[in-house]
Amino acid sequence: MRMTAGEGLRERKKRETAMRIWRTALDLFTERGFDHVSVAEIAAAADVSKMTVFNYFGTKEDLVTAPMMNDVGDVVRAVREREAGESAVAAVRRQFLEMIELRDPSVGLNDDPRSLQARQLIMNTPVLLQRASVAFREAQQELAELLTEEGGDPMLAAVAAAQLTGARNALIAEHHRRILGGESVQWVVTDAAERAERAFAQVENGLGSYPGPA
């Protein structure tokens, strides 16, 4: 739901409608609980039809989790698009450090009240937490398959994928924890790169240059 360069009037209106539905859903879910709000109620409060809600968000769960789903596959993209001769761990580390420098919300560097509201809902709602966990497991499996396609042993590829996604997710969770605890993004960023270096160094000590040049 981010604005993109060259966005036309139609695209802008669609984005604004999606944002209005998302914000309305967050407010109702926060006030009454995810399980106690219907899609029909969200549609009425957002002044759209129930069908319009489903046109923008495929399921009720998507009303909360959709914005984060675009970023789940970042780790796979980092490895797939890595530079010649670059290891998987180096590619994921480089991408993560670049995102820290950009203060990218996808790595948890976001203190927008609505985004924090969505994060709290996910953490406090079992069905939403399960939905997010499934998405991350699917990305981990996709990474393992990619590493296997490059000639890696399937079991070792699965281990590498778990370590890479685990380190990345742990760093993001730490950013969220600190910001939800009241720290500003600016303060969290002061040592975010150093923490990331330490985390990926720990992975690298076990993985080395696995799986070799791209």
Q: What is the pTM of this model?
A: 0.81
Lowest mean pLDDT among 59-73, 142-156, 158-172: 59-73
For residues 36 and 88, membership in a common domain is answered with: no
The domain that holds 34 is classified in CATH as 1.10.10.60
Average pLDDT over residues 200-208: 85
Q: Considering the domain boundaries, does residue 1 fall inside one?
A: no
**Residue labelled with tokens 């998302």:** 22
Containing structural domain, residue 36:
9-59
Q: Considering the domain boundaries, does residue 144 fall inside one?
A: yes
C-alpha 52/C-alpha 43 separation (Å) is: 8
pLDDT band per the 50, 70, 90 thresholds, residue 68: confident
Is cis: bond before 211, omega within 30 of 0? yes
Q: Considering the domain boundaries, does residue 3 fall inside one?
A: no
For residues 97 and 128, membership in a common domain is answered with: yes
Which 8-state DSSP code applies to residue 165?
H
- Find the angle CA(90)-CA(74)-CA(117) to the nearest 5 degrees: 125
**Residue labelled with tokens 């399921």:** 59
Mark residue 38 as left, alpha or beta (left: phi above 0; alpha: psi -120 to 50; beta: remaining): beta
Round to the nearest angstrom and report the end-to-end CA distance of the chain: 33
Task: Check residue 151 and give its pLDDT.
Answer: 86
Task: Check residue 214 and give its pLDDT.
Answer: 61
For residues 139 and 194, membership in a common domain is answered with: yes
For residues 52 and 91, membership in a common domain is answered with: no
For residues 71 and 51, membership in a common domain is answered with: no
For residues 108 and 167, membership in a common domain is answered with: yes
Q: Considering the domain boundaries, does residue 101 fall inside one?
A: yes
How many structural domains does the chain have? 2
Which among 23, 43, 59 is the end of a domain? 59
Contacts with 65 (C-beta within 8 Å, 6 or more apart), sequence order: 118, 122, 128, 131, 132, 135
For residues 102 and 155, membership in a common domain is answered with: yes
Lowest mean pLDDT among 18-22, 28-32, 201-205, 210-214: 210-214
Q: Considering the domain boundaries, does residue 123 fall inside one?
A: yes
- Cα–Cα nearest to 65, from 14, 13, 138: 138
Average pLDDT over residues 182-199: 95
For residues 29 and 103, membership in a common domain is answered with: no
For residues 116 and 45, membership in a common domain is answered with: no
For residues 148 and 46, membership in a common domain is answered with: no
For residues 114 and 44, membership in a common domain is answered with: no
Task: Check residue 213 and give its pLDDT.
Answer: 67
The domain that holds 198 is classified in CATH as 1.10.357
Task: Check residue 7 and give its pLDDT.
Answer: 61
**Residue labelled with tokens 């698009």:** 81
For residues 28 and 85, membership in a common domain is answered with: no
pLDDT surpasses 70 at 63: yes
Work out whether the CA dihedral 106, 107, 113, 115 comes out positive or negative. Answer: positive
C-alpha 50/C-alpha 40 separation (Å) is: 6
